[in-house]
């Protein structure tokens, strides 16, 4: 029996801004952008797992940091980089934001929590750390 993870789907309100963000940050290629910005499909030009972005007007972003009784993240990406400040700047340039709250037990020189355009947290961290 063959089982293989080939893609990850990300929920958001509008797919196109999210697709453009991950295209710019990860270098993925948008191969399909659905009508009215409701979905997109991105592929890593080097192969591997692809991203599907699914837009739904009912989407609500998670709260970061987590708070009791509020919608929390269900997963997040860990993105290894070789220049943290350049990666933070790129993430902001392509539509993301640095999370206002950073875990106090983490070294900001080694890891930074970012938010994608739909409010999902993701970690940028230095390679080899």
Q: Residues 100, 79, 18, CA angle at the centre, nearest 5°? A: 70
Tens digits of residue pLDDT in 65-86: 999 999 999 999 999 999 999 9
Domain ranges of the chain: 1-58, 60-129
Q: Contact at 8 Å (CB) between 20 and 96?
A: no
DSSP characters for 66-109? --TTS---S--EEEEES-HHHHHHHHHHTT-EE-S---TTS-TT
Q: CATH classification of 60-129, choosing from 3.40.50.300, 3.30.750.24, 3.10.180.10, 3.40.50.2300?
A: 3.10.180.10
The topology under which CATH files domain 1-58 is 2,3-Dihydroxybiphenyl 1,2-Dioxygenase; domain 1 (3.10.180)
* pLDDT score for 37: 77
Tens digits of residue pLDDT in 5-57: 899 999 999 999 999 999 999 999 999 998 877 999 999 999 999 999 999 99
Report which of residues 37 and 98 the model is more confident about.
98
Q: How far is CA 17 from the centre of its chain?
A: 11
* pLDDT score for 127: 81
Containing 25, the helix (H) or strand (E) segment is helix 15-26
Query: pTM of the prediction?
Result: 0.91
Q: How far is CA 37 from CA 14, 29, 41, 42, 107, in A?
A: 6, 16, 11, 14, 37
Q: Is the predicted pLDDT of residue 107 greater than 70, yes or no?
A: yes
Q: Is the predicted pLDDT of residue 128 greater than 90, yes or no?
A: no
């Amino acid at each position: 029996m063959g089982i293989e993870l080939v893609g990850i789907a990300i929920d958001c309100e509008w797919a196109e801004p999210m697709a453009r963000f991950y295209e710019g940050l990860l270098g993925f290629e948008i191969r399909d952008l659905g009508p009215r910005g409701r979905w997109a499909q991105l592929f890593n030009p080097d192969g591997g797992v692809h991203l599907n972005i699914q837009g739904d007007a009912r989407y609500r972003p998670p709260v970061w940091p987590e708070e009791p009784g509020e919608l929390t993240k269900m997963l997040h990406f860990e993105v290894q980089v070789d220049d943290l400040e350049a990666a933070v700047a790129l993430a902001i340039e392509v539509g993301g934001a640095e999370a206002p709250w950073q875990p106090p037990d983490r070294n900001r020189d080694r890891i930074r929590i970012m938010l994608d355009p739909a409010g999902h947290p993701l970690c940028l961290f230095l390679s080899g750390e």
